[in-house]
Amino acid sequence: MKFKDLREKYKSKFPTSLVAAAVKIALDMGGNMTGAYKKIEAMKRGLGDDPAVKDALRLANEENVKENITKQSVDLV
């Protein structure tokens, strides 16, 4: 993938400060993906669909799932 393609993929129509705040919310709320998405959408409509925010929501949700699986397997032993 060329630099031009990457720049277009992550080009945002929202200010970087707003995207950074949304990413922070996504990571702080961990496994509560629906709640995080609603809170982000309350900040600015469509912000939850921004590529960087989507990636942060997915990452936060996946990390929480991995932690829960690890905790459950430790509890079973």
pTM: 0.69
Contacts of 61 (CB under 8 A, 6+ apart): 30, 31, 33
3-20 pLDDT, tens digit per residue, is: 777 666 666 688 889 999
Q: How confident is the model at residue 67 (pLDDT cuts 50, 70, 90)?
A: low
C-alpha dihedral, 43 to 49 to 14 to 26, nearest 10° = 60
16-62 pLDDT, tens digit per residue, is: 899 999 999 998 987 788 999 999 999 999 999 988 899 999 988 88
